[in-house]
Amino acid sequence: MEQKGAGSFKLVYKATYNPPQAGATPVAILRVRGSGSQETREAVLKEIWFFKELGRHDNLLDLRGITVEPASGEYCLVTEYAPQGSLDQVLNR
């Protein structure tokens, strides 16, 4: 796993997902800092709800899964990997 970026609330890593019936796929793991707090947990759940409500769309990253990092209890969102970088990086080029 390779750290690709960091923001105010998230650390972003590039990883590889290896499902048994398909080939290796690059994914992004967004580790939400401080998601042990009630306020941050609610923000994460709201973001997950938006992913669910919007569904699959060509202009949005696909949410592949959600997990909790055992040592810290922080939420990790697993999304498709965007090789061009974050939206602000793309817009500021």
Does residue 60 contact residue 53 with C-beta atoms inside 8 Å? Answer: no
pTM of this structure: 0.75
Instruction: Say what the pLDDT of residue 15 is.
Output: 92
Q: Is the pLDDT of residue 35 over 70?
A: no
Q: What is the pLDDT of residues 76-90, one digit of tens each?
A: 888 888 877 666 666
Give me the mean pLDDT over the 35-42 stretch.
76
Count of C-beta atoms within a 10 Å radius of residue 5: 14
Confidence of residue 54 (pLDDT cuts 50, 70, 90): confident
38 phi/psi in degrees, rounded to 5: -60, -45
What is the distance, to the nearest Å, from the Cα of residue 72 to the centroid of all Cα atoms in its chain? 17
